[in-house]
């Protein structure tokens, strides 16, 4: 007997009383002023979809639900505890099953589905970055903005010095907690320097970092787009590869970390739940050890919180503790620090105009800051590239780095590395 299909579950939206507290927390609503581009408006649309009052091919429905960044900024401010994220994910899975992805989305998701495709593609991008052309061609147009994103992914130490080396005697004591580095896809190709800084700073704080083969893309881009089958397939591969590998699984990409911590919900297996319980952002592990202070870096630094770190993972204090371990660093949180930058996985590729409109609100706060920051620190590759490109397009000489890069440079200056 064939099992009956399970009806889409929108029960996480049940607590909504349409109070409107979510409106000022929604970046697309702030950009457009359209009620249907707010969480409250989208919940009305999702409920109509659930009841069959609107079809899955309705143009307005698709426009407003697709325009959601998935930043989850609405959830912390909701007094009723609405699970908006689960609701929008259910809707996207329902729409994906009915209509499939757009040709552009299908192409991009297809690339990330296969290691043999994305690895050569990003390797070529890294070679292009090394020529310096992306830095020269960066600008405000669509092509120039793309070049700016690639230029922003380049390694950058705090003062342009040589990068720190591995510890001369990395912690190898039997009691040292072991950490398996989640390599990811974009991080493993364009941000290998952040992986290196992650290893060094963790070792300097008493962890033993191990490498694990067989990892693939985390699946966050596919899950965000509603392609649950692809997300589950990638998640199963990672669970198999990482099972029993170390005491902790460390992630230095907020988007990857958010999904890895939700693998139990995604797959519903004991192995996935166990793995998810061992996933930590690099800032969490470093903060658990202090972290130890390094050498002085006299910089004005603005911390910008990735949405999938602050809202999805609910990690707030740990990145500030990492930056606080750098003597001389003057840390500030600007008014836009908790707002989405518009990157949102492949959102900036699929909806560049809206992504730029959301980003412009953040760039304005950097331009108006007094004193203006030397560096913006953020713990997600998409955010780093999006903000970096926006700053270049605006003519602002502000660098964007991962927080562990600053700690790594601080340790190099303190001669903690051999």
Does 51 reside within a domain? yes
Q: Which two tokens stand for residue 85?
A: 């994220």
Indicate the number of domains in the chain: 3
Q: 53 with 85, same domain?
A: yes
- Is residue 171 a part of any domain in this protein? no
Query: Which residue, among 318, 331, 329, has the nearest Cα to 294 in the 3D structure?
Result: 329
Identify the DSSP state of 381.
H
Identify whether 234 is part of a domain: yes
Domain boundary among 69, 84, 99: 99
* Domain-located, residue 130: no
Cross-strand bridge partners of residue 279: 249
Tell me, yes or no, whether 22 lies in a domain.
yes
Is there a single domain that holds both residue 295 and residue 401? yes
Can you give the CATH number for the domain in which 64 is found? Answer: 1.10.1060.10
> Which pLDDT value is given to residue 5?
52
Q: What is the pLDDT of residue 348?
A: 87
Domain containing 62 equals 11-99
Distance of CA 207 to the CA centre of its chain: 24
Quick check: is 418 in a domain? no
Burial class (CB in 10 A: 0-12, 13-18, 19+), 144: middle
DSSP lists the bridge partners of residue 377 as 303, 401
Question: What is the pLDDT, as a whole number, of residue 156?
Answer: 75
Task: Count Cα atoms within 13 angstroms, Cβ side, for 82.
Answer: 26
| Contact call for residues 238 and 274 (beta carbons, < 8 A) | no
Judge whether 132 lies within some domain.
no
Q: Report residues of the chain scoring pLDDT below 50.
A: 1-4, 158-164, 168-172
């Amino acid at each position: 007997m064939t099992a009956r299909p399970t009806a889409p579950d929108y029960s996480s939206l049940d607590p909504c009383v349409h109070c409107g507290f979510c409106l000022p927390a929604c970046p697309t609503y702030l950009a457009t002023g359209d009620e249907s581009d707010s969480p409250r408006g989208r919940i009305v649309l999702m409920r109509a979809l659930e009841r069959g009052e609107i079809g899955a091919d309705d143009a307005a429905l698709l426009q407003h639900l697709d325009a959601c960044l998935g930043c989850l900024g609405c959830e912390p401010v909701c007094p009723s505890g609405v699970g908006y994220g689960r609701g929008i994910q259910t809707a996207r899975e329902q729409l994906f099953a009915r209509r499939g992805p757009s040709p552009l989305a299908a192409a991009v998701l297809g690339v990330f589905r296969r290691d043999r495709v994305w690895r050569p593609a990003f390797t070529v991008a890294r070679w292009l970055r090394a020529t310096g052309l992306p830095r020269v061609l960066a600008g405000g147009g669509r092509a120039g903005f793309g070049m700016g994103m690639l230029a922003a992914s380049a390694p950058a130490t705090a003062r342009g010095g040589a990068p720190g080396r591995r510890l001369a005697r990395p912690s190898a004591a039997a009691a040292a907690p072991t950490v398996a580095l989640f390599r990811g896809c974009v991080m493993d190709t364009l941000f290998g320097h952040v992986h290196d800084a992650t290893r060094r700073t963790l070792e300097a704080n008493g962890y033993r970092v191990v490498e694990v083969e067989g990892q693939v893309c985390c699946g966050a881009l596919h899950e965000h787009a509603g392609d649950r089958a692809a997300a589950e397939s990638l998640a199963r591969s990672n669970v198999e590869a990482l099972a029993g590998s170390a005491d902790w699984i460390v992630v230095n990409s907020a988007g990857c970390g958010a999904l890895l911590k939700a693998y139990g919900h995604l797959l519903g297996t004991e192995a996935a739940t166990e793995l998810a319980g061992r996933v930590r952002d690099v800032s969490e592990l470093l903060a658990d050890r202090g972290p130890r202070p390094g050498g002085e870096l006299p910089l004005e630094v603005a911390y910008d919180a990735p949405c999938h770190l602050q809202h999805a993972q609910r990690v707030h204090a740990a990145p500030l503790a990492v930056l606080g371990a750098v003597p001389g660093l003057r840390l500030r949180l600007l008014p836009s620090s908790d707002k989405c930058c518009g990157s949102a996985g492949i959102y900036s590729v699929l909806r560049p105009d809206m992504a730029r409109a959301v980003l412009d609100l953040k760039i304005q706060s950097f331009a108006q800051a007094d004193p203006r920051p030397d560096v913006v620190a953020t713990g997600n590759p998409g955010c780093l590239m999006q903000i970096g490109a926006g700053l270049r397009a605006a003519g602002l000489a502000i660098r964007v780095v991962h927080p562990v890069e600053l700690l790594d440079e601080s340790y190099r200056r303190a001669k903690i590395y051999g």
